[in-house]
Amino acid sequence: MLQLTTFFTQNGIPEETLIWIFMLPIAMTLVVIGRQIVGIKGFSISAPILIGFAFAAIGLQSGVIAFVTVLGVGFIIKSALRNMRLLYLPKMALILLITAVAVSALTPFLPYKDDIQFSHAAFAFIILILSTEQFGSLLIERGPRKTLGVALETLVMSTAIFFLITSVWLQNIVVTYPLIVLLTAILTNLFLGKWTGLRISEYIRFKDVIFK
Amino acid sequence: MPGVLGINARNLLYIKPSLTKRVARILDNKILTKKILSAKGIPTPKTFSSVSSLRELTEFDWNELPSSFALKPNRGFGGEGILVVFARKKERTQHFANVGILDPASWRIMRIFGKRTLEPAWIKADGTAIELPDIKNHILNVIDGTFSLGNLPDVAFFEERIKILKLFKEYSFRGIPDIRIIVYNSIPIMAELRIPTKESDGKANLHLGAIGVGIDMESGITTHAIHNDRAISYVPGSRLVLRGIKIPGWKEILELAIRAQKSVGCELLGADISIDRDRGPIILELNARPGLSIQIANMAPLRERFERVRGLQVETVKKGVKIAQDLFGGGLEEELEEISGKKIVGAREEITIHGTGKERHITFAKIDTGAYRTSIAKSLADKLQLTHILKYKKVRGALGKEERPIIDLVFELDGEKVHTEAFIASREEMKHDVIIGRRDLKKFLVDPTKNLILHK
C-alpha cells in the first residue's frame, strides 16, 4: 500500500499535500453522513469541507473567529446595500469586497499557533471570504433566521471536519493505506445512496406523527 | 420501518421514478404547465404577460397591468421570487411635478439612496409600497435566474390573482389560501389547507411561515393545524379556530387534482388548488417535489399511504376519489367525540336492553330527536317482563290524545349505559321496537348520515 504514497512523494509531491488529498474522500463522506443520516444542512457539500480545511490551515480558534467575522460583516453590508437597488451579481461582489477588507484588517489580531504553516493561510482566508457568497444568497432567498441556522450547522460540520483531518492517527492510516480508505469511502457512499431511512433531524421534526 | 416519509425516501423511492425528463420539462416550467392543463380543460389562473429579456422589460407597457397581480419566476420553486401586489397606489408623480417641489435631478439622487420617490407604486402584502424601479429590479433578478432551479436564465410572468372566497377571508393575511393535495398513482393521498400569514408575506408556502391545516380526505373538513412545524389551534394572534373548517366542493377539488396529475403524466404530484369566488376550484401550480410537513398537519404518515395504493389500477377519476375517501378518510368522528366528550350516533343504532333479571335483549332503535321520551313496543316490554308501571302520562300525537304507561328502562347505546323512564306504546306496525328520544340523547351527537351505507 505504501507504494502509492512513495510513488507520489518521489515525484515531488509533499506528504502534507498528499494527506490533504487523501483526506478529501473521508471529509466528503462525513458531510454526506451529516446530511443523509443526521440531517445537518450546511451551505453545500463543498462549503463545510473547504471551511474545515481553512480551519486546519490557520487553527480552529482563528478560523472560527474569522468565519464569524466574515458572516457578520457580510450580513451588515447586505443590509446596508438593501435600499440601493443593485443587481444581484454586482451587489454580491460588493459584499465580498468589503468583507475581504474587514478580514484583512482583522488578521494581525488573530491567535495563530506557531506550529501552523502560514503558507496555507492566504488560501484559508480566501475560502472563508468566498463563503460569504453562499451565505449572502441564502440570506436573500431565505431570510436571516433560516440563514443563521444553516450557518451554525455549517460551523458544526466544518469543525467536525477540522478534527477529522487534523487527527494524527487518521493521517497515518491515510498515508499507509490510501486505497483501502478510498474503497471504504466509495462503499459507504454507495450504501448511503440507497439509504431511505428517516434522518435523525426528521425523527425530531415528525415526532408527533411517529410517536403519537 | 416507520410509515413516515423522510426526505431520503421521498427523493429516491418516489420522486426519482416519477420525475422523468418529460415530466420535469413540464413541471419546472410554470407557463408550459398551465398551457397543458388549459388544453385539457382544467382551469388555471390567467397569465397577463411575460418578460424574458431586458429589451422586453424596457418596452413593457405598465399601464396594461391590472392593479392587482402576482409576479412569478417561470422556473421558480418553493414560493421564492414571487411578488404579490394588491392594489395600485394612487399616482403622485403628476401632482408633485405640477407643484414643482422637486426637479428630475433631485429625484434621481434620492432614488440612488433608496428614498421615497415619485414613481408609480403598488401595495404589497404587508401594506408597504413597492415602486416601479423595485419591480423592474426584481424582474431583472428573475431573468438573471436568481430564483430559478439551477440559477438558469428565466422568464418572469404576471399572473391573475385569485379572488378570495368569503369563507377564507378572515383566516388569511392578505394572500390566498390554497389546498395542497398530494396525488400518487391517480389517487389523492393527503390534503392540507395552506393559509398565508403576515410572516409568509402573503404566500402559502409552509417553510416561509404559512399555516398548514390537515384535511380529512372523506369530508373535506380540517383537522390539525401547524405553524412552523408546531401544532397550533388558532390563527396566530387571533381566536379563530382552525379545525372544523369545511372546504366547499371537496369532491370536485379531489377530482381536479387527479385530472391534473393525469394530464402531465407524473406519478407523484403536489397539486395546489385554490377556490376562486367566481370560477370555483382552480389549479394554481403543480409541484414535483412536495414538502413533507403535510404529515404533521394531518398527523398521518405518507409512506404508509403510498404503499397502500402502490400498483392499484384506477380506471376513472371518480374511482380515484372514492378510493381516497374510503382509504384515507374518516377518523374525524373519533376526534369530534374526543373534543365534545359526546359520542356520535346515527339515525339507527344497535342497543342492548336490560331485562328485569340478567336478561339482555339486543335490537335496533330509531334515534328520534323529534320525540322527548323514549318509547318501547308493548310486545317487547312484555317479553322482557318490564311490566312494572310507574305512572301514566297523556301524550298528544298525530293520532290525537292518548294516555301511555311509563316504565323504568335501562339500555346501553354505543357502550353508554342509560337509565331512564320510557313510554310503552303499541308499535306493531313500526320497523323498530324502540325509539330513543331527546331526554336520553344528552350524551350524544346525532349524525343522520352515519351507518347509512352499513345498512343499505
Q: pLDDT tens across B368-391, in order?
A: 888 888 989 888 888 888 878 888
Distances in Å between the Cα of A96 and the Cα atoms of A51, A77, A135, B55 are 16, 9, 11, 30
CA dihedral B26, B29, B33, B35 (to 10 degrees): -110
Per the DSSP assignment, residues forming a β-bridge with A13 are none
CB-CB neighbors (< 8 A) of A197 in chain B: 1, 6, 8-9
Chain B closest-CA separation from residue A197 CA (Å): 7
| DSSP secondary structure letters along B101-140 | -S-HHHHHHHHHTT----S-EEEETTS-EEEHHHHHHHHH
pLDDT of residue A158 exceeding 90, the answer is yes
What band does B108 get if pLDDT is binned at 50, 70 and 90?
low
Residues in A closer than 8 angstroms to B113, CB to CB, are: 83-84
Strands (E), chain A: none
What pLDDT, on a 0 to 100 scale, did the predictor assign at position B95? 47
CB contact under 8 A, B7 and A197: no
Q: How far is A89 from chain B (nearest CA, A)?
A: 9
Domain boundaries, chain B: 7-28+164-332, 46-159, 343-455
Contact B74, B154 (CB under 8 A): yes
With CA atoms as reference, report the closest residue to B189 among B283, B288, B281, B306: B306
Please tell me which residue, B79 or B154, carries the higher pLDDT value.
B154
Say if the Cβ atoms of B12 and A196 lie within 8 Å.
Answer: yes
pLDDT at residue number A114: 54
- Beta pairing partners, B419: B410
ipTM above 0.95, yes or no: no
The whole-number average pLDDT for the span A206-212 is 84
Between CA B402 and CA B396 the distance in angstroms is: 6
State yes or no: pLDDT of B22 exceeds 60: yes
pLDDT recorded at residue B102:
57
The closest CB to that of A198, out of B2, B146, B300, belongs to B2
The pLDDT confidence band at residue B282, using thresholds 50, 70 and 90, is very high
From the candidates A79, A82, A85, which should be mutated to test the interface with B, based on the most B CB atoms within 10 A?
Answer: A85
Cell of A148: 443563521
Which of A132-136, B104-108, B160-164, B433-437 has the lowest average pLDDT?
Answer: B104-108
CA–CA min distance A198, chain B (Å) = 5
Count CB pairs under 8 A between chains A and B.
69
Distance (Å, rounded) from C-alpha B179 to C-alpha B181? 6
Average pLDDT over residues B266-278: 93
Residue B149: pLDDT over 80: no
Contact assignment for B8 to A196 by CB distance below 8 Å: yes
Average pLDDT over residues A15-38: 88
Q: Please tell me the least confidently modeled range out of A148-152, B119-123, B331-335.
A: B331-335
Average pLDDT over residues B28-42: 93
Phi/psi at B287 (nearest 5 deg)? -125, 125
Q: Which three-class secondary structure state does DSSP give residue A69?
A: helix
Whether residues A206 and B295 touch (CB distance < 8 A) is answered with: yes
What is the dotted CATH code of the domain comprising B7-28+164-332? 3.30.470.20
CATH of domain B343-455: 2.40.70.10
CA distances (Å), origin B25, targets A140, B29, B264, B325: 27, 7, 10, 32
Which residues on chain A are in Cβ contact (under 8 Å) with B111? 85
pLDDT-based confidence at residue B137 (cuts at 50, 70, 90): confident
Write the residue in A83, A89, A209 that is nearest to B299 by C-beta.
Answer: A209
Per-residue pLDDT, A88: 77
Residue B245 · residue B222 · CB < 8 Å: yes
Q: Residue B394 pLDDT > 90, yes or no?
A: no
User: B227, B360 in Cβ contact below 8 A?
Assistant: no
| pLDDT tens for each residue of B210-256 | 999 999 999 899 988 999 888 898 888 888 888 888 899 999 999 99
pLDDT-derived band at B88, boundaries 50, 70, 90 = confident
Segment A81-125, tens digit of pLDDT = 877 777 778 888 888 899 888 888 887 777 665 555 556 677 888
Among residues A20, A11, A13, the alpha carbon closest in space to that of A171 is found at A20
Neighbours of A6 (CB within 10 A): 10
Q: What is residue B97's predicted lDDT score, i.e. its pLDDT?
A: 47
pLDDT of residue A25 exceeding 60, the answer is yes
The one-letter code for the residue type at B97 is A
Q: What does the mean pLDDT of chain B come to?
A: 85
